[in-house]
Chain A
Amino acid sequence: MLLLVQSLNLAWKVRLFSLGHHGFFGLGAYAAAITTRLTMSDPGSWNLEEPLNRLAGLTLLAVCVLAGATLAACLARLLSSLFSRIRGDYFVVATLVFAEMVRSVAANWDYVGGGLGFEVPYLIFTKAGGERLIYGTFYAVLLLSLNLVVFVAIRRIGRSVYGLYIGAIADDPVAAELSGVDVIRLQSLMFVLAAAVAGGAGALFLHFTTLIAPSDFSFLNGLPIVLGVVLGGMRSARCVIAATCIYTFYEVIKLRFFGIFGPEYGELIADWKEALLGIFLILIVILPALMRQGWVRKLAREQKGSVANAW
């Protein structure tokens, strides 16, 4: 669900094919971790079972999300000015490197738990006992409404002049620039906005799982974000959302489905998860091309038919 927000925004990026979006996600999570640690004195004294006062918890959550979004946005601004001269494939690699840097810094910084990860107390509700359902519902509602806000915001941008600018850049950046659109600045703006949403999502992720580790923000865990966008066809917000939902559903049922054949199959699939992801990606890239070929042939046949009829 969190991925949804990000992938939506990834799609937004005008010709900035970033593979490092999970870096901003991680950055947001760690910004939230730092904020939490700063506000709540000594981690040794934390009672991990007991939630805070609800109002305080809610405030802290909001502050964390803001902190995550702000930090991610600031870094994105910095990166976009650094990367503005890098184009194409090199940009992709640079974003990947950035995400890897976030991960390795987190892994070596003891203040946020280092490689072992960082655990925070439950903020508002606990997962224990009867409150488990409320806990789940609270975050589900929160995330859904945030998704809705982002969706509506993107839609409104899409219908404004900026939507046209973005379409123009996607079609022909040179012609867009010479029509008066500040391409680099708009790209940077979109990059920053996307990063801010990812950062906010990261902060929520921390408080939802209450335990994060640097490995959560590895490349393989970032891949589904890209997958959602590619699967959704890059530009249409609705398709990207649908694709992400389908993919998430697949992730969830995958283990159970193969578990039917016996627990050892379930484990086998879990072991081969990454390989499957790879196959999945390849299929996605190849299938539409194959389908299009089929379509073209069919279409050509139809047109021949209509010409014959006309005669």
Chain B
Amino acid sequence: MLGETSAPCASSEVLLHVEKISHEFAGLQALSNVSMRARRGEIIGLIGPNGSGKTTLFNLITGVYAARHGRIFFEGHDITGMPGHHIASAGIMRTFQNPRIFASLGLVEHLVIPMWAVSRPVSFIDLVRQMSMPWRSLAPAAEKILQSITALTSVDEIPASALSYGRRRLLELARCLASSPRLLLLDEPTAGLNPNEACEVHALLERLAASLGLAMIVIDHNVDFIERLCSRLVVLVNGCIIRDGPGEEVLRDPRVVAAYYGER
């Protein structure tokens, strides 16, 4: 019920293509010449020490920051420098390191927003048209997704601010899935979760990838989790990609070990 499964696409297998992206903050080089590709249905782990530019890369892909150097292509279209809502509509959704939910809204409402926003641009005419249509009429589909992801229902009618930290993460994930995206960027999905919850998230993500053919890029520090989930790992250190390849190989690479644990 989570939208259509990956539609057959005539274009190449490459879903996301990041080409020589650089970004700096007031003289600090956060990313330099980063290039990477993500194929349809692929789950990529993005790892690296704190401050290596992982989240910055997410912010550039999703349009939070405007990329000034380099280009980003999604499904063959150039999305460099587009505003965030365009990129979201194109099919890239993300979660945040600290869950960013709409505290005063209810649970289903979180899902109705992207469901509608990605397909209908904001305009005065649309506003007038929507005025005769309460959003509740759109709720059933959102409710199904909500339940399948978070096992929560709107029957409780609680505001999102009343959720626990782990549930907020799930709600955020459900919000991302409501618009049936093709690429999911997950920023530390297991941070702040206990091992049990991390296991649940792992199972959930695998289920989603299998059933929807969803591609994911996952940032996480939980190496065990990353290794089991991802078929490919990309290692960022000081804004440069130092390794890109299959999981076990990358983790055994002495350069990666050195970046994480220091030189022996």
Indicate whether A161 sits within 8 Å of B85 (C-beta atoms), given known contacts A174-B64, A178-B93, A179-B117.
no
A179 surroundings in chain B (CB, below 8 A): 85, 88, 93, 113-114, 117-118, 175, 179
Binary flags per residue of A163-176, CB closer than 8 Å to B gives 1, else 0: 11101101110111
Q: Assess whether A181 is in contact with B85, with CB atoms less than 8 Å apart.
A: yes
Interface status of B131 (Cβ within 8 A of chain A): yes
Binary flags per residue of B61-91, CB closer than 8 Å to A gives 1, else 0: 0111000000000000000000111011100
Q: Assess whether B102 is in contact with A175, with CB atoms less than 8 Å apart.
A: yes
For chain B, the bracket of interface size reads: 35 or more
Interface status of B262 (Cβ within 8 A of chain A): no
Interface status of A153 (Cβ within 8 A of chain B): yes
Q: Assess whether A180 is in contact with B94, with CB atoms less than 8 Å apart.
A: no
Q: Assess whether B109 is in contact with A167, with CB atoms less than 8 Å apart.
A: yes
Q: How far is the CA of A161 from the CA of B115 in the complex (A)?
A: 10
Interface status of B101 (Cβ within 8 A of chain A): yes
Stretch of A58-66, A182-190, A202-210 with 4 or more beta carbons under 8 angstroms from chain B:
A182-190
Q: Which of B96, B133, B138, B179 has a CB less than 8 Å from the CB of A175?
A: B96
Binary flags per residue of B102-124, CB closer than 8 Å to A gives 1, else 0: 11110001001110111001111
A176 surroundings in chain B (CB, below 8 A): 102, 113
Indicate whether A160 sits within 8 Å of B133 (C-beta atoms), given known contacts A165-B122, A172-B102.
yes
Q: Which of A159, A160, A175, A182 has a CB less than 8 Å from the CB of B121?
A: A182
Q: Which residue of chain B is the closest to A184 with respect to CB atoms? A: B83
Indicate whether A175 sits within 8 Å of B130 (C-beta atoms), given known contacts A167-B109, A180-B89, A181-B122.
no
Q: How far is the CA of A157 from the CA of B118 in the complex (A)?
A: 19
Contacting B at CB under 8 A, from A134-177, are: 153, 156-157, 159-165, 167-168, 170-172, 174-177
Q: How far is the CA of A168 from the CA of B135 in the complex (A)?
A: 14
Q: How far is the CA of A174 from the CA of B58 in the complex (A)?
A: 13
Q: Which of B83, B84, B127 has a CB less than 8 Å from the CB of A162?
A: B127
A168 surroundings in chain B (CB, below 8 A): 102, 105, 113
**Closest Cβ of chain B: how far from A193's Cβ, in Å?**
8
Q: Assess whether B84 is in contact with A177, with CB atoms less than 8 Å apart.
A: yes
> Using a CB–CB distance below 8 Å, which chain B residues touch chain A?
62-64, 83-85, 87-89, 93-94, 96, 100-105, 109, 112-114, 116-118, 121-124, 127, 130-136, 138, 175, 179
Supply 11 A–B pairs (Cβ within 8 Å), ascending by A: A159-B134, A167-B102, A176-B113, A178-B87, A178-B88, A179-B114, A179-B175, A180-B118, A182-B83, A182-B85, A182-B122
> Using a CB–CB distance below 8 Å, which chain A residues touch chain B?
153, 156-157, 159-165, 167-168, 170-172, 174-186, 189
Give 4 A-B pairs besides A161-B135, A172-B102, A189-B124 with Cβ atoms closer than 8 angstroms. Answer: A159-B135, A160-B133, A161-B116, A182-B122
- Ordered nearest first, which 9 A-B pairs have the shortest CB separation? A180-B117, A180-B118, A180-B88, A160-B130, A171-B102, A177-B84, A175-B100, A179-B114, A156-B131
